[in-house]
Amino acid sequence: MPHVNASDSVLLVIDAQDGFYPPTRTDVDHDEKDAALDRVGWVCGVAAAIDVPIVVTEEDTGGNGPTAPQVHRHLPASAPIFDKRVFGAADQADIRDAVAATGRDVVVLVGMETDICVMHSALGFAEQGRRVVVIHDAVFSAGDAHGHGLARLRQERIELVSAKELYYEWLRDLPTVRAFDAAHPDLASPPGFSL
Protein backbone atom coordinates (compact mmCIF):
# COMPACT_ATOMS: atom_id res chain seq x y z
CA MET A 1 0.00 0.00 0.00
CA PRO A 2 1.17 3.56 -0.60
CA HIS A 3 1.88 6.03 2.18
CA VAL A 4 -1.02 7.55 4.10
CA ASN A 5 -1.05 11.12 2.80
CA ALA A 6 -2.45 13.88 5.00
CA SER A 7 -3.99 15.52 1.93
CA ASP A 8 -6.02 12.36 1.24
CA SER A 9 -7.04 11.60 4.85
CA VAL A 10 -10.11 12.17 6.97
CA LEU A 11 -9.88 11.22 10.65
CA LEU A 12 -12.94 9.43 12.01
CA VAL A 13 -13.08 9.30 15.82
CA ILE A 14 -15.36 6.46 16.86
CA ASP A 15 -17.05 6.68 20.28
CA ALA A 16 -14.02 7.84 22.28
CA GLN A 17 -16.17 8.03 25.42
CA ASP A 18 -15.08 7.23 28.97
CA GLY A 19 -18.52 5.90 29.83
CA PHE A 20 -18.00 2.72 27.84
CA TYR A 21 -15.76 1.58 30.68
CA PRO A 22 -16.70 3.32 33.95
CA PRO A 23 -14.36 2.99 36.96
CA THR A 24 -16.72 0.41 38.46
CA ARG A 25 -15.74 -2.07 35.71
CA THR A 26 -13.11 -4.28 37.32
CA ASP A 27 -12.57 -6.36 34.17
CA VAL A 28 -10.99 -3.41 32.35
CA ASP A 29 -7.36 -2.28 32.36
CA HIS A 30 -8.15 1.40 32.87
CA ASP A 31 -4.53 2.42 32.34
CA GLU A 32 -4.57 0.84 28.87
CA LYS A 33 -7.91 2.48 28.10
CA ASP A 34 -6.62 5.88 29.22
CA ALA A 35 -3.42 5.43 27.21
CA ALA A 36 -5.46 4.63 24.08
CA LEU A 37 -7.67 7.69 24.63
CA ASP A 38 -4.56 9.84 25.17
CA ARG A 39 -3.27 8.66 21.78
CA VAL A 40 -6.68 9.32 20.19
CA GLY A 41 -6.44 12.88 21.50
CA TRP A 42 -2.88 13.24 20.23
CA VAL A 43 -3.84 12.00 16.75
CA CYS A 44 -6.71 14.52 16.77
CA GLY A 45 -4.29 17.29 17.73
CA VAL A 46 -1.91 16.41 14.92
CA ALA A 47 -4.78 16.15 12.43
CA ALA A 48 -6.19 19.52 13.47
CA ALA A 49 -2.76 21.17 13.23
CA ILE A 50 -2.22 19.99 9.64
CA ASP A 51 -5.80 20.51 8.44
CA VAL A 52 -6.86 16.88 8.22
CA PRO A 53 -10.66 17.00 8.62
CA ILE A 54 -12.06 15.27 11.69
CA VAL A 55 -15.47 13.64 12.07
CA VAL A 56 -16.54 12.43 15.52
CA THR A 57 -19.18 9.95 16.64
CA GLU A 58 -20.71 9.35 20.05
CA GLU A 59 -22.84 6.33 20.85
CA ASP A 60 -25.56 6.65 23.49
CA THR A 61 -24.24 9.87 24.99
CA GLY A 62 -26.79 9.60 27.79
CA GLY A 63 -25.34 6.28 28.90
CA ASN A 64 -21.72 6.54 27.76
CA GLY A 65 -21.16 10.25 28.25
CA PRO A 66 -19.57 12.69 25.80
CA THR A 67 -16.24 12.37 24.05
CA ALA A 68 -13.47 11.97 26.66
CA PRO A 69 -11.84 15.26 27.76
CA GLN A 70 -8.34 14.25 26.61
CA VAL A 71 -9.79 13.80 23.12
CA HIS A 72 -12.28 16.66 23.06
CA ARG A 73 -9.68 19.29 23.96
CA HIS A 74 -7.83 18.54 20.70
CA LEU A 75 -10.90 18.81 18.45
CA PRO A 76 -11.30 21.91 16.34
CA ALA A 77 -14.60 23.75 16.68
CA SER A 78 -15.37 22.75 13.09
CA ALA A 79 -15.33 19.01 13.85
CA PRO A 80 -18.90 17.70 13.65
CA ILE A 81 -20.02 15.31 16.40
CA PHE A 82 -22.70 12.80 15.40
CA ASP A 83 -25.06 10.76 17.53
CA LYS A 84 -24.23 7.28 16.20
CA ARG A 85 -27.15 4.87 16.35
CA VAL A 86 -25.54 1.96 14.50
CA PHE A 87 -22.35 0.03 15.17
CA GLY A 88 -20.78 0.78 11.80
CA ALA A 89 -20.49 4.51 11.09
CA ALA A 90 -20.55 3.88 7.34
CA ASP A 91 -24.11 2.58 7.74
CA GLN A 92 -25.46 5.89 9.08
CA ALA A 93 -26.26 8.39 6.34
CA ASP A 94 -25.31 11.63 8.13
CA ILE A 95 -21.91 10.27 9.21
CA ARG A 96 -21.25 8.70 5.81
CA ASP A 97 -22.21 11.99 4.13
CA ALA A 98 -19.94 14.01 6.44
CA VAL A 99 -17.00 11.77 5.59
CA ALA A 100 -17.80 12.02 1.87
CA ALA A 101 -18.16 15.81 2.09
CA THR A 102 -14.50 16.13 3.07
CA GLY A 103 -13.52 14.93 -0.38
CA ARG A 104 -10.89 12.66 1.18
CA ASP A 105 -10.47 9.04 0.09
CA VAL A 106 -8.59 7.59 3.08
CA VAL A 107 -10.61 7.03 6.26
CA VAL A 108 -8.33 6.89 9.31
CA LEU A 109 -10.05 5.34 12.34
CA VAL A 110 -9.40 5.74 16.06
CA GLY A 111 -11.59 5.16 19.12
CA MET A 112 -13.67 2.41 20.68
CA GLU A 113 -14.43 -0.44 20.60
CA THR A 114 -11.86 -2.25 18.48
CA ASP A 115 -13.91 -5.40 17.90
CA ILE A 116 -17.31 -3.78 17.36
CA CYS A 117 -17.77 -0.16 16.29
CA VAL A 118 -14.25 0.39 14.95
CA MET A 119 -14.29 -2.92 13.09
CA HIS A 120 -17.84 -2.47 11.75
CA SER A 121 -16.95 1.05 10.60
CA ALA A 122 -13.73 -0.11 8.95
CA LEU A 123 -15.46 -2.91 7.08
CA GLY A 124 -18.32 -0.64 6.03
CA PHE A 125 -16.12 2.07 4.56
CA ALA A 126 -13.93 -0.55 2.87
CA GLU A 127 -17.05 -2.11 1.32
CA GLN A 128 -17.89 1.34 -0.06
CA GLY A 129 -14.54 1.42 -1.84
CA ARG A 130 -12.60 3.64 0.51
CA ARG A 131 -9.09 2.98 1.74
CA VAL A 132 -9.32 2.40 5.50
CA VAL A 133 -6.48 2.69 8.01
CA VAL A 134 -6.94 1.79 11.69
CA ILE A 135 -4.48 3.21 14.22
CA HIS A 136 -3.97 0.05 16.26
CA ASP A 137 -2.62 1.78 19.40
CA ALA A 138 -5.37 4.43 19.36
CA VAL A 139 -8.26 1.97 19.51
CA PHE A 140 -9.42 0.00 22.54
CA SER A 141 -11.60 -2.83 23.74
CA ALA A 142 -11.38 -4.52 27.12
CA GLY A 143 -9.50 -7.78 27.62
CA ASP A 144 -9.16 -10.21 24.74
CA ALA A 145 -11.69 -8.28 22.65
CA HIS A 146 -9.02 -5.80 21.51
CA GLY A 147 -6.80 -8.56 20.14
CA HIS A 148 -9.75 -10.32 18.54
CA GLY A 149 -10.75 -7.07 16.83
CA LEU A 150 -7.25 -6.47 15.48
CA ALA A 151 -7.05 -10.07 14.25
CA ARG A 152 -10.34 -9.70 12.38
CA LEU A 153 -9.20 -6.41 10.85
CA ARG A 154 -5.99 -8.09 9.64
CA GLN A 155 -8.01 -11.01 8.27
CA GLU A 156 -10.18 -8.56 6.34
CA ARG A 157 -7.04 -6.80 5.00
CA ILE A 158 -7.68 -3.51 6.76
CA GLU A 159 -4.44 -1.55 7.13
CA LEU A 160 -3.12 -1.24 10.69
CA VAL A 161 -0.51 1.39 11.59
CA SER A 162 0.64 2.92 14.86
CA ALA A 163 0.09 6.54 15.88
CA LYS A 164 3.83 7.10 15.46
CA GLU A 165 3.80 5.64 11.94
CA LEU A 166 0.84 7.82 10.99
CA TYR A 167 2.62 10.93 12.29
CA TYR A 168 5.63 10.34 10.07
CA GLU A 169 3.53 9.42 7.05
CA TRP A 170 1.41 12.53 7.42
CA LEU A 171 4.44 14.83 7.89
CA ARG A 172 6.74 12.88 5.55
CA ASP A 173 10.12 14.65 5.86
CA LEU A 174 12.56 15.88 8.49
CA PRO A 175 12.16 19.64 7.89
CA THR A 176 8.38 19.32 8.18
CA VAL A 177 8.68 17.25 11.38
CA ARG A 178 11.09 19.75 12.94
CA ALA A 179 8.88 22.69 12.00
CA PHE A 180 5.80 20.91 13.35
CA ASP A 181 7.50 20.03 16.65
CA ALA A 182 8.70 23.61 17.09
CA ALA A 183 5.23 25.01 16.38
CA HIS A 184 3.39 22.39 18.47
CA PRO A 185 5.60 21.28 21.38
CA ASP A 186 2.62 19.71 23.15
CA LEU A 187 2.21 17.35 20.18
CA ALA A 188 5.90 16.60 19.61
CA SER A 189 5.51 12.94 20.59
CA PRO A 190 2.58 10.60 21.09
CA PRO A 191 1.72 9.50 24.63
CA GLY A 192 3.69 6.42 25.60
CA PHE A 193 6.75 6.83 23.41
CA SER A 194 9.05 9.44 21.93
CA LEU A 195 9.48 10.16 18.25
Is 89 part of any domain?
Answer: no
Is 134 part of any domain?
Answer: yes
Is 65 part of any domain?
Answer: yes
Domain holding 165: CATH number? 3.40.50.850
Count of structural domains within the chain:
1
Is 88 part of any domain?
Answer: no
The pLDDT of residue 195 is above 60: no
pLDDT at 128: 96
The pLDDT of residue 194 is above 60: no
Average pLDDT, stretch 125-130?
97
Give the bridge partners for 108, in sequence order: 11, 133
Q: What is the pTM of this model?
A: 0.95
Is 82 part of any domain?
Answer: no
pLDDT at 153: 97
The pLDDT of residue 132 is above 80: yes
Is 10 part of any domain?
Answer: yes
18 burial type by CB count under 10 A (0-12 exposed, 13-18 middle, 19+ buried): buried
Identify the domain containing residue 172 by its residue range. 6-77+98-187
Is 143 part of any domain?
Answer: yes
Q: Express each pLDDT in 6-43 by its tens digit.
A: 999 999 999 999 888 888 888 888 999 999 999 999 99
Is 194 part of any domain?
Answer: no
